[in-house]
Structure 1
């Protein structure tokens, strides 16, 4: 499953912010640009694992275009993270 992630620009004093909009409450951050995808995947796996333990439905990924007109995502960069849900069982 390929989840879109929104990346908020970081700088010398601020980490890159990572938002997974398809999974409510799922966020991460990275001091290094190179670790954004790894950190996002870790956040998704941990969040979904908790949802599975709680018996909650797993949100399906959508396309980042669903958020293009959302002012909360103005100025972010987009990427996708591939998470194999069957590996979590």
Structure 2
């Protein structure tokens, strides 16, 4: 399922940060953009590990892009395999 991810980078010496707003407190980072899908998938799996939570419906980027917590970065949709977190 496609979920919006907020991507941000402080400067060239830092990794690319990824925040997944539909999963509160779930975030990841990668040194290269090509690594992001794998790192985001891993973060979501860890987020649900040992928890009995409902899987949220993906938010539209338009709902999130004006949130002041997500300023200065970019938005991108990522496919997250939720079959790996469903009990």
Q: How many residues align?
A: 86
What TM-score, normalized to structure 1? Answer: 0.81
**Compared with structure 1, are the counterparts of its residues 10 and 30 closer, same or farther at alpha carbon in structure 2 (3 Å cutoff)?**
farther
Tell whether 2:69 aligns with 1:78. no
Alignment RMSD? 1.7
**Compared with structure 1, are the counterparts of its residues 26 and 10 closer, same or farther at alpha carbon in structure 2 (3 Å cutoff)?**
same
**Compared with structure 1, are the counterparts of its residues 81 and 63 closer, same or farther at alpha carbon in structure 2 (3 Å cutoff)?**
same
Contact 2:41–2:80 (Cα < 8 Å) also in 1: yes
Moved over 3 A (4+): none
Q: Tell me which residue corresponds to 1:27.
A: 27
Q: Tell me which residue corresponds to 2:18.
A: 18
Q: Separation in 2 of the partners of 1:37 and 1:85?
A: 13
After superposition, the C-alpha distances for 1:17-56 in whole angstroms (9 at most, x for unaligned) are 11001100100011112212221122112213x2xx3222
- Alignment partner of 1:59: what SS? coil
Q: Tell me which residue corresponds to 1:59.
A: 56
User: Which structure 2 segments of 5+ residues have no match?
Assistant: none
User: Which structure 1 segments of 5+ residues have no match?
Assistant: none
Contact 2:45–2:84 (Cα < 8 Å) also in 1: no
